[in-house]
Amino acid sequence: MSILINKETRVIVQGLTGKEGLFHTEQMILYGTSIVGGVTPGKGGKTYLGIPIFNTMYEAVNHTGGETSIIFVPSSFASDAILESISMNMKVIVCITEGIPVSDMIRVKNFLKGKRSLLIGPNCPGVISSEESKVGILPNIVFSKKGEIGIISRSGTLTYEAAYQIIRQGFGISTAIGIGGDSIIGMNIVDLLNLFSNDLKTKCVVLIGEIGGRLEIDAAEWIKKSGFRKPIVGFIAGKTAPKGRTMGHAGAIIGNKLETAQVKMEIMKENGIHIVSSPANIGMKIKEVLQKNQ
């Protein structure tokens, strides 16, 4: 099984006609994703990659029945694209765009309250359900095998590394999600763990965090309180990061001692998460943990 998306998911690409949109739409199609339409204001009626283009999400949804959207829109307009998708009740919205102003994302978060839409990102690689569908920019070749390991990651690159290490050990991926590294994002770690807890096929989850913020700490505390039963293998990037300096992502900045990699890993370990010191050890740790649980 998978979470969020599957081979039946019908996807609309906002910003399809731009350079990034075109390239990654083609890659999604090659992976097997059902792309049913694109949205670029002023280009409605045209066709790109055999896909019809519409001026608005309203037109795209009404003509195609799309239920999920992915956004390749410049940062100045990305929040409006997200709001448009929320207004059309998209089940899942994936925003790839980086550099969206914090004030814009505060507006988006407020608008999301009480709505049915689930937002992944922004500034993220998206979501992929192996051998079924990809809504994002994750490399096709890495996610080549379906299996029982889920991935939740704040880091795009380490999402790919984790998948490689998992497959190298003979396992496969159920669903992998890059949640984004900005200070304000849509779905968080706990939201996704809740979904994985109900996925009967996912037997183990890999959690890749970063310095900065409390997402991993909140997740670790929730895991213990909720009685989450599936084993989790965790890693935190940014051990050598200096305090007060942004490292790669807007959200990856140490504000206090709790937000350092070392303290986060200690808290995660105390709450039952199996910690690895390097991403290269993720696959081996999964193998060890699953063998013990047999």
Residue 103 bridge partners (DSSP): none
Residue 134: closest CA among 178, 103, 165: 178
Cα angle 130, 135, 136 (rounded to 5 degrees) comes to 105
Selecting among 24, 63, 249, 274, the annotated active-site residue is 249
DSSP designation for 168: H
CA–CA gap between residue 210 and residue 63 (Å, rounded): 41
**CB count, 10 Å around CB of 174?**
23
Report long-range pairs for 219-227 (Cβ below 8 Å, ≥24 apart): 219/188, 219/189, 219/190, 219/193, 220/267, 220/268, 220/270, 220/271, 220/273, 221/267, 221/271, 222/190, 222/193, 223/193, 223/271, 223/272, 223/273, 224/271, 224/272, 226/197
Helix (H) or strand (E) holding 210: strand 204-210
Active site (annotated) includes residue 24: no
Per-residue CA distances from 177 to 80, 91, 109, 155, 246 (Å): 23, 16, 19, 10, 23
For residue 281, the 8-state DSSP code is G
Residues in the chain: 294
Residues acting as catalytic residues: 249
